[in-house]
Structure 1
């Protein structure tokens, strides 16, 4: 007898809490983790939103005291009813923060508290805390952001919800020529001009770092192997740390004088080393198609 596998359940995360506690930051981070997100959603329409096809990406829904007709007791009852469905897995996240810190954040951004009206910010925070008390008690997950930086909150969201939709960091390895300008938005730059320049070797000028004769010439340099090994080991140590910090993109660039020989060969070799280390880098050669020119390469000295 062949047993049928149970239908998959769509994950629904309701994100609420105190104004200024970090709801927008949490929703943006969830979006980066692969969740679909809706902010400031009229929570009274939740049943209608989830009434159709619920297959697909996990969904994060943000709402707070500004929602029209927001009554915590009614929201809780509606979510309880929806939680009985076999196709949904609903979790509620409540973001809290101490009053003094919320006051500081409102003062810093010069925003008015929605419930303060013509009263001081602390009065609005007090009214909001009383309104949201049932939601706070009922929430499945509580995160207090009083002592959090923005990065701290992002890290907590990744730790708590990232395993649902793991995000792969995008790694780009590129080559370029210093004489043609530095590339923009590069995280790590390695200058390969300490190696002898193949441009000045007979028969190598018109070739590039993708050609075997150039590769053999560069690799034969006595310092290349040990220098490359140090760069490789450094990158294999740093990239997991960047990923742990939630960095979405890491751009690694190798430069030489004209961007056609040393940088191209090293970038290709490093990309292969990173693949062997478990990464999937994209390789770009900015100046590979540029014309070989003495004016660009400068003097015979590297």
Structure 2
């Protein structure tokens, strides 16, 4: 009997493949929120290795695969401050893929002025500024990470996100549902605060009448039923939402074939309080009814 059980054990072991290991590579600008991302990944069951030398990425991935169990969900956080950091992250990712792994790269970014404020608030110097200014260190780091940003599967701009919002974004991306499914974030924003740099589609809802000029609606937001009813009841609003819902549904299979896992649809109005919020909520709801993994987030809600 012991002779018969051997081949069965071997066969079941060989059914696993490196692709069954979920690998997340986290990098990005110092002060951008890497540590928050790492903690959020731990919250959803990832084994997180912080400040991993890039040269050890393949070894770490193979250890995670061999260990099985909980280690099959592993996140590797790369820090440009590490002496073992190489600018050839794209080459390291290609090497992982050649071994059969399917890593997902998360890049955290933020505006320079935001990064400077964050460093000043904790009274720390930038790790790469040397004898120069904070801005000099940030510029050097951006140059080192330019190719890594281009290769990222997910770029998260944290300029207008607090710690809880960033944590929630990571938990929505990597917790619960199958991480291989395309996930759609419908992000409302205000044009006066700038375009979201991580948007794949940008929708402009400023053609609709602004509830701001309706006294009884001014202090409410697009999440409130009265504002939502007003916005969605305007001429062209229904066609606008339905057209983009259909567009996203039609293009989703193509994105999935090309290996894209995260899609950000940004909906803008003037201040990001009324029209864009109502449209984003409705569009996300329609996408969910179409069996897409979609959620609405509101970048600028509460800024006014």
Which residue does 2:30 correspond to in 1?
Answer: 19
> Given the two structures, how large is their TM-score scaled by the length of structure 2?
0.50
- The answer to whether the 8 A contact 1:15-1:93 is kept is yes
In the alignment, the residues of structure 2 paired with residue 42 and residue 49 of structure 1 have an alpha-carbon distance, to the nearest angstrom, of 10
Please report how far the alpha carbon of residue 156 of structure 1 lies from its aligned counterpart in structure 2 after TM superposition. 0.5
- CA displacement at 1:78 relative to structure 2: 2.1
Partner of 1:125: 138
Q: Match of 2:290?
A: none
Contact 1:34-1:165 within 8 A present in 2 as well: no
Q: What are structure 1's unaligned runs of at least 5 residues?
A: 167-302
Q: Is the CA contact (8 Å cut-off) linking 1:47 and 1:82 kept in structure 2?
A: yes
Aligned residues of 1:35 and 1:165 also touching (Cα < 8 A): no
After TM superposition, list the pairs within 5 Å mapping 1:105-124 onto structure 2. 105-124=118-137
Q: Secondary structure at the match of 1:157?
A: helix
Supply the distance in 2 between the matched residues of 1:56 and 1:141 (Cα, whole angstroms): 26
2:52 maps to which residue?
41
- Residue aligned with 1:131, SS: helix
Match of 1:69 among 64, 76, 84: 84
Which residues in structure 2 correspond to 1:139-150 (within 5 Å)? 139-150=152-163
Cα distance, 1:44 vs structure 2: 1.0
Instruction: For 1:56 and 1:12, locate their aligned partners in 2 and report how far apart those are by CA, in whole Å.
Output: 13
Corresponding residue for 1:95?
108
Aligned: 1:78 with 2:92: yes
Matches within 5 A, 1:278-289: none
Pairwise CA RMSD of aligned residues? Answer: 2.3
Contact 1:33/1:165 (8 A) holds in 2 = no
Where in structure 2 are there 5+ consecutive unaligned residues?
1-11, 180-304
Distance 2:28 2:67 in 1: 25
SS of the residue corresponding to residue 59 of structure 1 reads: strand
User: Aligned equivalents of 1:135 and 1:105: distance in 2?
Assistant: 22
Deviation at 1:55, TM superposition (A): 2.1
Contact in 2 for aligned 1:16/1:62 (Cα 8 Å): yes
How many residues matched? 162
Shift in Å, 1:163: 2.2
Q: Which residue of 1 aligns with 2:16?
A: 7
Higher helix content, 1 or 2: 2
SS at match of 2:84: coil
